[in-house]
Structure 1
Amino acid sequence: MGEMSSYQLGVIGALFLSVASSVSIVICNKALMSNLGFPFATTLTSWHLIVTFCTLHAAQRFNFFETKPIDLKTIMLFGILNGISIGLLNLSLGFNSIGFYQMTKLAIIPFTVLLETLFLKKQFSQKIKLSLFLLLVGVGIASVTDLQLNFVGTILSLLAIITTCVGQILTNTIQKKLNVSSTQLLYHSAPFQAAILFVSGPFVDQMLTKKNVFAHKYTPIVLAFIILSCLISVAVNFSTFLVIGKTSPVTYQVLGHLKTCLVLAFGYTLLHDPFSERNIIGILIAICGMGLYSYFCTQENKKKQLVDLSLASQVKDKDGSPLLAVKNMSHQEKESLEPKKSTKDSLV
């Protein structure tokens, strides 16, 4: 019971860290890009990952965690895939309307459920599916406005959905199959993610903004917000791997939509963004869906734990019964078993 309660506290802590850090970095980046005129999102993400790796490397040097060797080919492909998914999401935002981009993010949950059902044989109950549907409807009402389609944007969105889903499923699978922690996996994969975004970032940003990141005027306040964004990103990247490893890719996506609702609320409260009755209704429906998802997941986990305990008890009883029976036999009863055993051996 002690181990279970500590595990639950770990999950709650990971969820809280993920929400707090993600909302903080969105507000910081919004100020940096909208108010200070620094629109280079992909390049900024590469700096985030470089700072994350340097922080983890320093932590490893001070023995805060131990590294575990992972197959180089596996970790390289995993890192590159995650880097590509980030680039594709940024391109999708650049080539599509904000409404269609939000639809792209909403599509990640059903596509993840589909992939896990087909390839990992994972079962999702009707109650879980209903709560996810309610969540998606709520977030859609709250955040999706205009839907402008174009061929290039649609292709980029489909590629972004596929790479994001596969990357998050692999984040969970690699941690469990190779028995590595979220910190170890992030430490090994961050350099490859950073490298691909550091090389491609300036080209992607120039394609989207028609501006050169190296020609930008870096004032002290811009540099201060970039440094703050990079520092917050360490918590964001760490909590992302931690949440996916401790829960599941679908739960992480549900958490992501909670962040969307919180960002909308904070944007209205702190930045005075426009807010309507539609936003309020959508957020309330989404929160209802999240609550049902959490409740149904908790109930199913309790049932699974009871089944596991029951099976373990049955196995223990089965293993213990013969020993107890033989131990409690009299000497004559034991001798009476010996001829039967020899007869059975001779038949064999």
Structure 2
Amino acid sequence: MASVEQPEKQPLLEEQTEVEVKEELDEAPKSTWWQRVGSALFYCVGSFVITLSNKAVLTSFGFPSADVLGLCQLVATVVVLAVGRLFGVVRIPEMTLEIFLQVWPLPGLFLGNLLFGLVGMQYLSLPIFIALRRFTIVMTLLAEVLILRSVPRASVLLAVGVMTLGAVVAAMNDLSVTLLGVVYVLLNNACSATQGVFVKRCVAQLGPLGVLHYNALLALPLTALLVASSGGVVAAWNFDAWNDWQFVLLFAVSCVMGVVLQYSVVLCVHHNSPLTAATMGSVKNVSVTYIGMFVGGDYVFTMLNFIGLNVSVAGTILYMWVTFKK
């Protein structure tokens, strides 16, 4: 019976999503301007803090297990929402077969997004990692066109083109770029783009907290199996910086910010669109890009690289102006 009902409901859901995305890309009548801008800024701040804390944990302190860090962020998400649900602070729909089938693609995409991003950060300097992450915007734009059938405006295409051009120039002229790092980041981008579109399809029925809860709950066993098979737990257990209060504090910040970041992503997609959320993830990079030239110690300066980074930043600012000028 479920297999008969699902095809009937899915087109309806897709039609509603297409209308919402097109409205939100223009004037967003269902979300106020303050909700749109506020959720975008919330996402930018959360992404800014977790990027710096993850980079410090994995690179500055040399923590050997990116997958263990990702697992701890998932555990923190499940625990926070479970406690909030227990005390009646948050309301989440009860699990049903329909909800399970609707949410199921998200845990796999979330897992790939999280792990590919954490591992890719270990192989690249922070400014180049940020530049390559801008390809998420192109992939998200394509996903919106193919899945949600949302046609972007010419001004949006121009801004995305400028961001991508700058990222290509920066990546091609960075002396510290490795092929493995680029592959990981591109896989990270593909997962992020597809995840944003699926979040948009689910959040209308489950709400932001519902999507966040079931995404983390279903992704947790998969992540635990992956971590157990990789031997990351042993390496993390034997890590010699657990006695350093600065490392412990940064590790805790990364875990807590994992909860904040995932909620801010869902909220930004809900009030805006997957494309806007993907681009807003790059807005905070205006600051992170330049900070990364001094933090981490793995940035190699070249003139073309520096020009490419600035062109990409200019494209990000252009998109902000085009999207929120009204």
TM range (shorter): 0.7 to 0.9
Residue identity opposite 2:133 in structure 1: K
Where does residue 338 of structure 1 map in the other structure? none
In structure 1, C-alpha distance between the alignment counterparts of 2:78 and 2:37, rounded to whole Å: 25
CA 1:11–1:50 in structure 2 vs 1: closer, same or farther (change >3 Å)?
A: same
Where does residue 8 of structure 1 map in the other structure? 33
Q: Match for 1:172 among 182, 193, 200?
A: 200
The two structures, once aligned, show a CA RMSD in angstroms of 3.4
**Contact 2:131–2:167 (Cα < 8 Å) also in 1:** no
Q: Match for 1:198 among 212, 224, 229?
A: 224
Where does residue 69 of structure 2 map in the other structure? 44
Where does residue 212 of structure 1 map in the other structure? 235
**Contact 2:46–2:257 (Cα < 8 Å) also in 1:** yes
Q: Match for 1:87 among 115, 130, 141?
A: 115
Q: How does 1:100-139 map to 2 (within 5 A)?
A: 105-139=133-167
Where does residue 320 of structure 1 map in the other structure? none
List alignment gaps of at least 5 residues for structure 1: 303-348
Deviation at 1:76, TM superposition (A): 3.4
Q: Match for 1:239 among 242, 264, 271?
A: 264
Q: Secondary structure at the match of 1:212?
A: helix
Q: Secondary structure at the match of 2:292?
A: helix
CA 1:227–1:244 in structure 2 vs 1: closer, same or farther (change >3 Å)?
A: same
**Contact 2:162–2:312 (Cα < 8 Å) also in 1:** yes
CA 1:247–1:254 in structure 2 vs 1: closer, same or farther (change >3 Å)?
A: same
Instruction: State percent identity of aligned pairs.
Output: 18
CA 1:267–1:163 in structure 2 vs 1: closer, same or farther (change >3 Å)?
A: closer
Q: Secondary structure at the match of 2:104?
A: helix
Q: Secondary structure at the match of 2:151?
A: coil
In structure 1, C-alpha distance between the alignment counterparts of 2:296 and 2:189, rounded to whole Å: 30
**Contact 1:68–1:184 (Cα < 8 Å) also in 2:** yes
In structure 2, C-alpha distance between the alignment counterparts of 1:204 and 1:165, rounded to whole Å: 26
Deviation at 1:149, TM superposition (A): 3.9
TM-score, normalising length: structure 2: 0.74
**Contact 1:100–1:149 (Cα < 8 Å) also in 2:** no
Where does residue 286 of structure 1 map in the other structure? 312
In structure 1, C-alpha distance between the alignment counterparts of 2:234 and 2:310, rounded to whole Å: 39
Aligned residues: 290
CA 1:13–1:289 in structure 2 vs 1: closer, same or farther (change >3 Å)?
A: same
Q: Secondary structure at the match of 2:267?
A: helix
Q: Which has the higher contact order (CA 8 A, sep 6+)?
A: 2
Residue identity opposite 1:86 in structure 2: L
TM-score, normalising length: structure 1: 0.70
In structure 1, C-alpha distance between the alignment counterparts of 2:84 and 2:308, rounded to whole Å: 42
Q: Secondary structure at the match of 1:29?
A: helix
Q: Secondary structure at the match of 2:284?
A: helix
**Contact 1:43–1:205 (Cα < 8 Å) also in 2:** no
In structure 2, C-alpha distance between the alignment counterparts of 1:228 and 1:118, rounded to whole Å: 37
In structure 1, C-alpha distance between the alignment counterparts of 2:53 and 2:129, rounded to whole Å: 21
List alignment gaps of at least 5 residues for structure 2: 1-27
Q: Match for 2:283 among 250, 258, 268?
A: 258
